[in-house]
Structure 1
Amino acid sequence: MRDFSSDHRWLSLNTATVRKQGDLIAIIDACARHGIRAIDPWRDQVAAVGLDRAVRAVHDAGLELSGYCRGGMFTADAAHRIEARDDNRRAVDEAKALGAPCIVLVVGGLPQYSRPGSVASKDIVAARTQVHDAIAEMLEYAREADMPLAIEPLHPAYAADRACVNSTKQALDICDQLDPERTGALGVALDVYHIWWDPELMPQIARAGKDRLLAFHVCDWLVPTKDILNDRGMMGDGVIDITSVRSAVEAQGFAGYSEIEIFSNDWWARPMDEVLRTCIARHRTVV
Structure 2
Amino acid sequence: MSAADRFSFNHATAKFWDQREAVEACARTGAGIGLWREPVQEMGLAATAKLVKDAGVEVTSLCRGGFFTDPTPAAIADNKQAIDEAAEVGAPTLVLVSGGIPDGGTIDTAREGVKDALDQLAPYALAQGVTLAIEPLHPMFASDRCVVATLAEALDLAAPFAPEAVGVVVDTYHLWWDPQVWQGIARAGREGRIASFQFADWITPLPAGVLTGRGQLGDGCIDFKRYLAEVDATGFTGPIEVELFNDTLWSRPGPEVFQETKAAFERVTA
TM-score by length of 1: 0.90
Tell me the equivalent position of 1:222.
Answer: 203
Q: Which runs of 4+ in 1 moved over 6 A?
A: none
CA distance in structure 1 between the partners assigned to 2:173 and 2:164 by the alignment: 24
Superposition RMSD in Å? 1.4
Runs of 5+ in structure 2 lacking a partner? none
Say if 2:13 is the partner of 1:9: no
Tell me the equivalent position of 1:115.
Answer: none
Among 81, 103, 118, which residue is 1:90 paired with?
81
Deviation at 1:147, TM superposition (A): 1.3
Q: Do the aligned partners of 2:69 and 2:112 also contact (CA within 8 Å) in 1?
A: no
CA distance in structure 1 between the partners assigned to 2:66 and 2:150 by the alignment: 16
Partner SS for 2:241: strand
Aligned pairs for 1:62-211 (under 5 A) are 62-76=56-70, 81-111=72-102, 120-176=103-159, 178-179=160-161, 182-209=162-189, 211=192
Partner SS for 2:158: helix
Say if 2:42 is the partner of 1:48: yes
TM-score by length of 2: 0.95
Percent identity at matched positions?
Answer: 40
Matched residue type, 1:95: A
Say if 2:260 is the partner of 1:278: yes
Tell me the equivalent position of 1:245.
Answer: 227
Deviation at 1:31, TM superposition (A): 2.3
Runs of 5+ in structure 1 lacking a partner? 112-119
Q: Do the aligned partners of 1:205 and 1:248 also contact (CA within 8 Å) in 2?
A: yes
Deviation at 1:122, TM superposition (A): 4.4
CA distance in structure 1 between the partners assigned to 2:31 and 2:54 by the alignment: 12
Q: CA offsets per residue over residues 16-68 of structure 1, 9 Å max, x none?
A: 01112x221122123234x1431110001101111111111111111011111
Q: CA offsets per residue over residues 212-235 of structure 1, 9 Å max, x none?
A: 111100010010111210011010
Say if 2:24 is the partner of 1:29: yes
Matched residue type, 2:13: T
Deviation at 1:269, TM superposition (A): 1.4
Across the two proteins, how many residue pairs are aligned to each other?
267
Q: CA offsets per residue over residues 72-112 of structure 1, 9 Å max, x none?
A: 11022xxx70100100000111111111111111111112x
Deviation at 1:209, TM superposition (A): 1.1
Partner SS for 2:211: coil
CA distance in structure 1 between the partners assigned to 2:234 and 2:69 by the alignment: 32
Partner SS for 1:197: coil
Q: Do the aligned partners of 1:13 and 1:36 also contact (CA within 8 Å) in 2?
A: no
Tell me the equivalent position of 1:117.
Answer: none
Partner SS for 2:22: helix
CA distance in structure 1 between the partners assigned to 2:14 and 2:104 by the alignment: 34
Say if 2:216 is the partner of 1:234: yes
Q: CA offsets per residue over residues 185-225 of structure 1, 9 Å max, x none?
A: 21101110000000000011111115111110001001011
Q: Do the aligned partners of 1:108 and 1:164 also contact (CA within 8 Å) in 2?
A: yes
Partner SS for 1:188: strand
The farther-off stretch of 198-207 and 274-283 is 274-283
